[in-house]
Amino acid sequence: MKIQTIHSAKGLQYRAVILMWADHLPRQFDDSNEAEERSLMYVGTTRPEDFLAISASGYSTFISEIENSKKADFA
């Protein structure tokens, strides 16, 4: 098991990824930087080769988009 930031995972692949607190992605420059948050979500969700679990305690536009996609399998 390896614990790391999304920024440090760029360019790397893993068999499984658990993305914790996905509704609280950090914004590097300011609170209204939606493009930065979307980029982090993209990087976080494209690292796993076989399995992705997303954990969130609140609402996230990006998680809603994933849930509404036909490719998502939610249990």
SS3 string, the chain, reads CCCCCHHHHCCCCEEEEEECCHHHCCCCCCCCCHHHHHHHHHHHHCCEEEEEEECCCCCCHHHHHHHHCCCCCCC
Average pLDDT for residues 20-35, to the nearest whole number? 70
Closest CA to 43 of 61, 25, 58: 25
Structural domain total, the chain: 1
**25 belongs to a structural domain:** yes
Q: Can you give the CATH number for the domain in which 43 is found?
A: 3.30.160
**74 belongs to a structural domain:** no
Question: In terms of pTM, does the model score above 0.75?
Answer: no
Average pLDDT for residues 8-17, to the nearest whole number? 93
**1 belongs to a structural domain:** no
- Who has greater pLDDT, 14 or 59? 14
Residue 54 neighbours by CB under 8 Å, 6+ apart: 19, 22, 45, 63, 66
Q: Please check the confidence at residue 68 and state whether its pLDDT lies above 80.
A: no
**31 belongs to a structural domain:** yes
* Range of the structural domain that residue 62 is part of: 6-68
